[in-house]
Structure 1
Amino acid sequence: MTDSPSVPERVSTPGPAGKPEPDPAGEAAARGTGAEPRGMEAEPRDAEAEPRGMEAEPRDAEAEPRDAVPSPSAARPYTHVKPPHRGAQPPPARPYPEPWQQWQPRRAEPPAWLAEVRPEPPARIRTATLWSVLATALLSSLLLRDGLGVNLLLVAVPAALAAFFSAQAAGRLPRPWTLVWAVGGLALLTVPALRDAGLPTFLAVVSAAALGALALGGSRTWTGALLGLPGLFGAAGPGTVWALRGLRERAGGTRGRVAPVLRAVVVAAGLLIVFGTLFASADAAFAEILGSLTPDVSVSEGPWQGVLFALGLFGALAAAHTAASPLRWDRVTVSPGRPRGRTEWALPLIVLNLLFAAFIAVQLVVLLGGYDKVVAETGLMPAQYARQGFWQLLWVTVLVLVVMVVAGRWAPRGGARDAVLVRTVLGALGVLTLVVVASALRRMDLYVDAFGLTRLRVSVAAVELWLGLVIVLMLVAGAIGGRWLPRAVAASVGAGVLAFGLVSPDALVAERNVQRYERTGTLDSEYVRELSADAVPALDRLPEPLRSCSLRGIAVELRNGADKPWYATSLSESRARDLLAERGVRSVASCPGEYRSER
């Protein structure tokens, strides 16, 4: 015996013809397949396994057939497939796609900014959110078809609750600015309930929606402030899909509980209808109260009510989805402009500051007593001179804001000296612009004294005041930093629109025109007849027949809307009806357009 391992002896057995039968192991070795010698247990071979001696790599389910070693069983008939040799490398992948792949349409990649603002998928919608959304849709279809009033607040409350429940489920806690936007939006919705004029109502509704978008998204940059409201409209589709998915998930486990709830609702509605009808027929006072509180349901207005139902439903779903998973608009960054040299940047602005200073010097001369001389040289009446300059100065204020924004984007940023230069030049331009704003408002005041106040003049004067406030905010931001500037400007817009609505331009116009009549004896009665019910308390002080001429158009409008329910009637309309019912409006044969008293 030796120490070397023994090798089993190869034995040849005679075949049928007496010849030795070929050894399978020897044939395998001759072919180079690496088969184990006989006497050892053979391992199962996989047709697609890697050669022995190499670590097998994980196979990709989407790998193309050309990258795999075909098995003999998978080969086509009458096709010889040569097995790989031991230690052979797999064939390299082709760097170019197959010809048939070159004609396949390629999926467009989303923009980079869209991937940045895309939020995480929201959590499962809560049952309280679904009920709040349904309440918003029902109240919208029942209350909003008769007009705008306190019904906007009644519709906004369940929509706000739906957003609150969604944010709570997502783990979002309210922040101070979120409460500011939410309270400001609800305060703006009180304007339609208090005033009757159309322009303040429109501005209040739009501003309330914008503040609501800020409350839901939590944006704090210019991009978020500008794109928050369009993004809220875009969330209606994802919100609907989110709600349908939640309903489908709940349908499996609550089928046994839906039927009892439906039966309870049907029974309750039947009891209310039966006993409510009996009580209404038994007492006329109760019937009147019940009729004023209950919204009318008309078959002819069914399509319009369906549209309002859809608007309330999709709007509430968009608000709830945004509260649960808002778009991250603050992640969109705007790269600063290329900084310019000091001379290239500062020289045009210094020249502009000198021009402003020269104009302001002339204005000071006019205010100190040279006004008559200027009017004599121009050949214009005082009111015409004031009117000619107001609109130009308004555009000057708007363009200065554009210049300040562009100049801040291209300002030099080389160090402390450049920062001082930028603050000095832009600060001087802002201060001079504030003087121009004061001059424009003074011109408007002179023009109103001569020709009276109108809605347009009130509106443009309010815009001029707001532009002046924005310039002040920009000056403060340049001195102490401006991270808070976008939210401050948004808050100023909301506060300005709220003040504009509560003051009521129609009431202010009527008050100033009545005061002008008491002072000069002249009134544009044709214009004041077009005002809303907000102007009735002021116009009621005019003497007859001027009073009836001025209130005749408003009285007709109030008479046509006498059947409006309480939730679609503003406080101004209610007071105007009571006042006109108490004193009445006389029938006047003719009413001149420009009324002048004989005193």
Structure 2
Amino acid sequence: MTGTAADRAQPLRSLRSLKVKLGLLVALSATVSAVVASAGRWGGVPWWLGVPVTVLLALALTQLLAVGMIAPLRAMTTAAGRMATGDYDVRVEAASRDEVGRLAVAFNTMARDLATVDRQRRELVANVSHELRTPLAALCALLENLVDGVGPRDPRTLEVALGQAERLSGLVADLLDLARVDAGRAPLRPEPVAVRALLEEAVAEARVQQRAVHHTVRVEPPDLEVQADPVRLHQLVANLLDNASRHSPPDGQVLLHAARAHDAVDQWVLEVSDQGPGVARADREHAFEPFGTLGATDAGGGTGLGLAIARWVSDLHGGAIGFADPHGAQGARVRVRWPVHPPPRPAGPPTTALVPHRSEPTVPTTPHTPPPPAAAPTGPRPAPPGPPVPPRPLLDDVFGRAWPDDGVAARPRLLLAVLGVALLAAVVLPLRQLGSGTALVLLTCGAVLLAATPRRREPAVLAGAGLAAALTLTAVVRDAEWVVVLCLLAGAAVCVTTLTGARGTAAHVLSLVAWPVAALRGLPWVGRTLVAVPGVGRGAAFVRTLLFSGVLLVVFVALFASADALLARWVDAVVPDLTLDTAVLRAFVACAVAGTLLTATYLALNPPRLEGREGAATSVAHRFEWLAPVLVVLGVFSAFLAAQAAVVFGGETYLARTTGLTYAEYVHQGFGQLTVATALTLLVVATAARKAPRETAADRWWLRGTLGLLCLLTLVVVASALYRMGLYEQAYGLTRLRLLVAFFEGWLGLVVLAVLAAGVRWRGAWLPRFAVLAGAAALLVLAALNPDARIAERNLERYAETGKVDWTYLQGLSDDAAPVLADPPEGLDAAEVRCLLGDLQDYGTAPDDWLEWNLGRARAAATWLDVGDTAGPDCAGVSAGDALDPTRALSSSLR
């Protein structure tokens, strides 16, 4: 992520305190919620629309402001897991400036240092193995020759063997010195040291090696005295002299120059120069690593650890070491810069194993130029860092394996389509009744979802989309809102279960829950998509251009519309009413539609894993554990059927004598209970089929026999319930609630028949989906039957037969009933019915535009134009003797 992208992703990035960020986040969220809620109340937005939109906006604002606040912590958790497996090249994005951002910077520093140490450790092991192998192989070969009698056993051979053993001993000693320094166990005992005496002593020891080089010592001032550990200082000088002697040509000159630093009175400089081939600039820093560029393999005779030990000694004294440009055309010049009084070593374990060692900077100098001051510490070339570790999304920990995100790809086109539908809904839906505009918006939503799902070509998805579209079109055909709302809800359920591919009962229930939950689960995807939208990446320029364009559009349209009447009419036809109160309502509608469609779109792109949530079926150990409860239910059903037979054969006299109820009261009393009993029976059948064992033929026979008999008795109960409803409707008339419950009971009977069919071959996986689709189809059939017209017709027929009807209830029916009320069934005088109903001019109010067009209202308007207003003063009091429906208050709630 670039710096610009990081700035976009973290709006609160510039704040340096996490507490301030959290406080600002809470304050802004609360303020936005209060402002939005107040605007909704002022604009007359209903609570069922205002509350979800307020919560949605507060959640979106929280996500916008909080994004990136804890992302480095999640990234560090992921990176730490990778580091535990040995991957030290991980890095985390450290864009914020608060405590979390500083922790991310420290984490990256630690990761870089660990990568460097790990690389050095691997190189050290490889190089030590290589260096030990050469003298060991030579020594073993020599000893084998001596044992086998192949080689001569003379002093010369033994001298060669001793040389190889001494080389091994020197290598091990050097390694132990490095280990002691690295472990903090190398003692540092500073004391006054005469520099000239120490250098001359080291030169004298170097001359013993009989190398053909000349040594020159220069000390300024001659009596220079410093505080240092003489043993360690001698070790450093000896290693530098050994390295310079081995790389110098025969009769070459090695110069040791010690002097006080020209730029600091409390520092002194030691330089060791030779006339050898020198060291390339690219290799100067690596020469101080164990077995570096100037190892034994280059000139022979060394262990490859001399310069590394020199660097460790320099670090112990608080100094710096490095290569400087030679005085002449060739050669090497090592410069050591030390404090005259070295600082005391800190107690506790040293940190030299975790941080790069300090070295003298490599800069060009001349003999007449004083050496430059020590630069910032440098060290081994760090390993190239890997790409920043993306943080593990927080919601992945919440939803786990049930709903993984798996990095769902950003879909800017889908987001733009959702925003377009939201804008269309804001223009079409407010201040209009359900009609063609509602169907247009919902069908457009369905098209977006169909384009989003990768399963769009599957037959099941196409069938579900067709059924949902048919249910949506009821808004165009019917004016009865209760039917239209039920059909739209059923269409939404079909749409969601189709998108998730639900099959089992639990999967269908979880699908309905997953839709609102997707508002939270889909937030990371919405964020990724917003960043990917063309133009959003330009930030302020995009917003500025959008605002300027909008202002210019409004100004010039207003000017030209006020100057031309025809253009003004066109603008009025295209632009909706944008007064302040309606603008608030339209904004709420747009937010609600956008949020609802976005969650459904994410559900289509990444449906949760719902199948298998029911868990594995575990059978009971004994047959009686499931059979006894089922037999109890069968006994109760048998008793009910016996009571029904007694009523049929005993007649109303027997019923009145035994219960004191009329037949109408008797049938009304039991319909609701029978409906509940039918639903519970399906639950008993499902539980028994899940728990009953099927290993033996006897188990399967008992299961099929008892559950089949229970289903057959349930069908008898369904028939009894529908028969009771018919009798009750004849006694008190048909209402919306009674018609809806009758359809519900019929749907339950259809599901029972499906259960019987599934039990024949023990194939019931299709039952939940069949039940959902059958219920949606039943609502579609109910809408096709024009229920309000059917209710009006049945009540008028009852009026013709009994002279009883609830005229107030009929007046509350929708425009779908207008043709029947204006032209009643045979046997009734149309003018009298219209007179008894009162004024019919409330039916068929003409819609404002084609977006509100509805077939039911259009037919009612045509009917009103045909019959006119026939109500007169002689109609007063006609409803005084009407029979009131005892359940009118209950049924009126569905109007």
* Shorter-chain TM-score tier: 0.7 to 0.9
Distance 1:321 1:463 in 2: 32
Q: CA deviation at 1:306?
A: 0.6
1:142 pairs, out of 419, 427, 436, with: 427
* 1:161 partnered with 2:161: no
Residue number in structure 2 paired with 1:433: 714
Where does 1:81-160 land on structure 2 (aligned, <5 Å)?
Answer: 114-146=399-431, 147-160=433-446
**Cα distance change on mapping 1:241 and 1:7 into 2, 3 Å:** same
Q: CA deviation at 1:505?
A: 2.8
Contact 1:533 / 1:573 at 8 angstroms: preserved in 2? yes
Give the letter for the 1:42 counterpart: G
Question: 1:139-173 deviations in whole A, cap 9, x for unaligned?
Answer: 111111123222222112332333334335xxx45
Q: CA deviation at 1:134?
A: 1.9
* 1:188 partnered with 2:471: yes
Residue number in structure 2 paired with 1:53: none
Q: CA deviation at 1:310?
A: 0.5
Q: Classify the secondary structure of the residue corresponding to 2:491.
A: helix
* 1:249 partnered with 2:536: no
Contact 1:197 / 1:533 at 8 angstroms: preserved in 2? yes
* 1:216 partnered with 2:499: yes
* 1:176 partnered with 2:459: yes
2:776 pairs, out of 491, 494, 498, with: 494
Q: CA deviation at 1:569?
A: 4.0
Distance 2:199 2:413 in 1: 88
Where does 1:538-557 land on structure 2 (aligned, <5 Å)?
Answer: 538-542=820-824, 543=829, 544-550=831-837, 552=839, 555-556=841-842
Query: So what's the TM-score if we normalise by structure 2?
Result: 0.52
* 1:41 partnered with 2:326: no
Q: Classify the secondary structure of the residue corresponding to 1:522.
A: coil
Question: 1:404-446 deviations in whole A, cap 9, x for unaligned?
Answer: 2332333234433212211211111011110111011111111
1:519 pairs, out of 801, 804, 812, with: 801
Residue number in structure 1 paired with 2:859: 575
Q: Classify the secondary structure of the residue corresponding to 1:412.
A: coil
**Cα distance change on mapping 1:270 and 1:121 into 2, 3 Å:** farther
Q: Classify the secondary structure of the residue corresponding to 1:329.
A: coil
Contact 2:788 / 2:816 at 8 angstroms: preserved in 1? yes
Give the letter for the 2:304 counterpart: A
Residue number in structure 2 paired with 1:507: 789
* 1:393 partnered with 2:674: yes
Residue number in structure 2 paired with 1:590: 877
Q: Which shifted more, 75-84 or 140-149? A: 75-84
The two structures, once aligned, show a CA RMSD in angstroms of: 4.4
Q: CA deviation at 1:177?
A: 1.3
Give the letter for the 1:164 counterpart: L
Q: Classify the secondary structure of the residue corresponding to 2:665.
A: helix
Give the letter for the 2:865 counterpart: A
Residue number in structure 2 paired with 1:77: 346
**Cα distance change on mapping 1:541 and 1:279 into 2, 3 Å:** farther
Q: CA deviation at 1:16?
A: 8.7
Higher RCO, 1 or 2 (CA under 8 Å, sep at least 6)? 1
Distance 1:445 1:41 in 2: 107
Gaps of 5+ in 1: 29-33, 48-72, 85-106
Q: Classify the secondary structure of the residue corresponding to 1:301.
A: helix
Give the letter for the 1:41 counterpart: T
1:371 pairs, out of 651, 667, 683, with: 651
Q: CA deviation at 1:225?
A: 0.9
Contact 1:113 / 1:332 at 8 angstroms: preserved in 2? no
Distance 1:401 1:80 in 2: 73
Query: So what's the TM-score if we normalise by structure 1?
Result: 0.76
Distance 2:161 2:625 in 1: 96
Q: CA deviation at 1:392?
A: 2.9
Question: 1:510-552 deviations in whole A, cap 9, x for unaligned?
Answer: 0101111222333221221222212211111353344233253
Distance 1:323 1:397 in 2: 35
Distance 2:535 2:808 in 1: 67
Contact 1:507 / 1:538 at 8 angstroms: preserved in 2? yes
Residue number in structure 2 paired with 1:476: 757
Distance 1:75 1:24 in 2: 15
Contact 2:818 / 2:860 at 8 angstroms: preserved in 1? yes
Distance 2:634 2:773 in 1: 30
**Cα distance change on mapping 1:512 and 1:7 into 2, 3 Å:** same
Distance 2:580 2:231 in 1: 96
Contact 1:504 / 1:534 at 8 angstroms: preserved in 2? yes
Give the letter for the 1:538 counterpart: V
Gaps of 5+ in 2: 1-154, 168-196, 206-229, 237-289, 313-341, 354-391, 884-895
1:342 pairs, out of 620, 623, 633, with: 623
Where does 1:410-449 land on structure 2 (aligned, <5 Å)?
Answer: 410-449=691-730
> Which has more radius of gyration?
2
Contact 2:561 / 2:567 at 8 angstroms: preserved in 1? no
Give the letter for the 2:468 counterpart: G
Distance 1:245 1:436 in 2: 55
Q: Classify the secondary structure of the residue corresponding to 1:443.
A: helix
Equivalent pairs, count = 531
Give the letter for the 1:507 counterpart: A
Q: Provide the identity percentage.
A: 31
Question: 1:47-104 deviations in whole A, cap 9, x for unaligned?
Answer: 8xxxxxxxxxxxxxxxxxxxxxxxxx999625687999xxxxxxxxxxxxxxxxxxxx
